[in-house]
Structure 1
Amino acid sequence: MLYQYIWWAVAFGNPIKAAVTIFSTTLFLKYFTYVFWETLAVYFNLYYLLPRYFERGKYSTYVVLLVATTLLTAGCIVPGYYLTASLAGTTVKELFHTDSFLSIILANSLPSTVAAMTLAMSIKLGRSWLQTQRREQMLEKEKLETELNYLKYQFNPHFLFNTINSIFFLIHKNPDIASASLAKFSDLLRHQLYECNDRQILLNKEIAYLENGIELERLRQNANVEVDIQLPVLYDTRLGIAPFILMTFVENAFKHVSKQADQPNWIQIDLQIDGQDLKLAVSNSIAGITEEQKVMHYGGIGLKNVRRRLDLMYPGQYELAVNSNSSSFSIRLTLQLSVLQSAPIMHKIA
């Protein structure tokens, strides 16, 4: 409405006179006709044609439909001229100095419609570009912060020293297991140092890292901690995922699992891949932890950081539920993954 009013104000050369003419004469019907049909055309273009054709790369189809929409809209505006003249008790020729359907389209409705569509698209695309730039800046900043935090915190000294000590004692007790554990430990460090520098990595690499991490964590646990792991048997390894998203929840489970001698201590990890949807459920037994301590351990900086990463990397594409009671703590993550176009088509079979 404001856009059309500006056109009228320019045509009359006086904004007050334009407002009076629009709202106190039969010309309001002509004004309303422009507003109504151009509004429909603009919204049809922005919320149907653009996302359905332009954003999917169907440019030829989009151009044809856009031209058709513009011409149809320009034609639908013309009857407003005749209704306005009829309501004023005169003819189109006397009121608007023309009675040609085509001349009204070419001289008035078509240029106005093209200008309205162009203005709306400019605003929409400009806004989308600004949002994309802002998100890219936030992602770059988050990536730098993540890399710095990774260098500072990822190599947990307690985890490293205990794992090395466990492998050291295994060398004398069971050299074969010690050798296998050392290989897993080497793979884990290699992944942390060299294979996770991109924004997204192949899902199979992240799952392999997860498996190695779980096996090494098992070495540190007491014999009375039961670990139940369910990993996907078949999935498309073209799928990509942000590094260290999954391991954060698994590390917390091992870190805070109960270690009671007279009661069951357990950790359950269930990872499923359904198409491009990843579903992770991690739960563990707890004991002797107050509600305040639960918040400190699970709802503090670690969980806030992973939520923040999910918000930036997967906006609107994930669900994270955290539940706890007196004997257990659990998380459920549902994540929509994307296919890495440069990755080969492979499947993993356990």
Structure 2
Amino acid sequence: MSIEARFRIDRKDFVLDVDLTLPDKGVSVIFGPSGCGKTTLLRSISGLEHSPEGYLRVGDSVWQDSQQFVPTHKRPLAYVFQEASLFAHLDVQANLEYGMKRVPKADRKVSLETAVELLGIGALLKRKANQLSGGERQRVSIARALAVSPQLLLMDEPLASLNLERKQEIMQYLQSLHNELDIPIIYVSHSLGEVARLADHMVLLDDGRVTASGNVTELFSRLDLPIAQSHKAAAFIQATVAEHDEAFGLTYLDFAGGRLSVLQSNLAIGSTVKLRIVARDVSLTLKHQTETSILNIFPVIVDEIISENHSQVMVKLMANGVPILSRLSLKSATVMDLKPGKQVYAQVKTVALLS
């Protein structure tokens, strides 16, 4: 099962021309700079923009083709905008119930109680919308979207208008949605941090066209894409919580390429986590070092090397099939005689726990 979307919208100074296949589970992030067409694409999926040549299939249901166009109000979707659009004269409970009333009882897959619990808004139910902070308003807006039990949830930069503290607050709730609900989410963002924490699938959009689409781990490590060439270049991997080391205050995480250690967390043994390893924090050695302060060392195979400038290279490494990036000086790469297929050891200075 999947989501197929084909749209072409011609405007005087802009053309959106996309042909996409997205998974019908998890979070698919539409990523790109301002003005590249992210919101136009989301509005096309919702039916708020009508592309005469468009096609949209969500699972088994065709919402648009050459013969039909299902209007927005008849599409089983929910749309969360940048600004929370709540009814100011109603309290939170009434705002949530307003959305739920449009869904027949037989079609309700997300209960009001579940939406309230997932977004942590139980204490806000009797407050009027105009008594809420920006972060609280957005959490209520997301809960109201869930209350309609959508087959598809669209989110257009829902954190854009919030300060950093509020963004961090809501991000944990968005991760809960990802983990707890079986509703596909299409999420528009221009923040690599949001992509890293939320995305399963990623679509790179530039000037109205798709430049790449695929698994987020693969796209972040593709050296032909600008993400892997930026100063924030990093690899994202999944690992399993293996052990807590009380004596040294560490938590050990296992992934296909070996074992990593991070500062001790309260994560349950056996739980799955997402990690970020920044390219500039990965050094390479020809032999496994023992007299070093770096704890995270594991064997890797050089997969690809590109020159970034006259003094630096980016190296893509494979740790038993898991891609890792390392930014090195050209001199280091030359002295080590790095080339595809060569085995070396990766030394990871810092590992960031994202979930």
Judging by fraction of residues, say which structure has more strand: 2
Do the two structures share a fold, i.e. TM-score over 0.5? no
**If each structure's helix is expressed as a fraction of its own residues, which one has the higher value?**
1
Work out which of the two has the higher radius of gyration on C-alpha atoms and give 1 or 2: 1
TM-score, normalised to structure 1's length? 0.22
Higher relative contact order (CA 8 A, sep 6+): 2
